[in-house]
Amino acid sequence: MITPEQLAASGTEHGNQAALFCFFQIHAAEYPLTKWLYSSSNGFFSTSGQKGKEKAAGLKNGVPDICLPIPSLGCTYHGLYIELKIETRRKQKNGGCSDEQLEWIAFLRQQYYKAVVCYGWESARDEIIKYLEE
């Protein structure tokens, strides 16, 4: 069986995102609400033509990578959005986030969603677990 650590070993954002989803597949019984955890398709294109087709069908630049559409226990938030970055992006301008990503995060927060940037799959895992307990 492949482990989250093996997936994250690639050092890519894709590998880290796959590691996160792998972790919650392994721990589905412990965290059943993560059944509803999903990702956007931003950033996963093989050609510019493919991205163009997705944009024509409604894809928006900057939408965070991961969403858990579950209200927090205290109903403080409508759901959780995570923009997942690899650790080396933290020191880049805007923590590695594009202007569009920052705009989406700010908008989502105004709409009472918890929207965060996480660096590495473990950070995202911890944020999701914490959110499920809020």
* Confidence (pLDDT) at 43: 63
Distance between CA atoms of 3 and 85, rounded to whole angstroms?
Answer: 19
Q: Which helix (H) or strand (E) holds 116?
A: strand 114-119
Least confident span in 30-39, 55-64, 68-77 = 55-64
Q: Which helix (H) or strand (E) holds 119?
A: strand 114-119
18-50 pLDDT tens trace? 999 999 999 999 999 999 999 987 766 567 778
Percent of the chain with pLDDT over 90: 78
* Confidence (pLDDT) at 123: 98
* Confidence (pLDDT) at 46: 62
Mean pLDDT across the stretch 69-91? Answer: 94
- Selected residue with higher pLDDT from 26 and 57: 26
Domains parsed from the chain with CATH numbers:
4-133 (3.40.1350.10)
Q: Which helix (H) or strand (E) holds 84?
A: strand 80-85
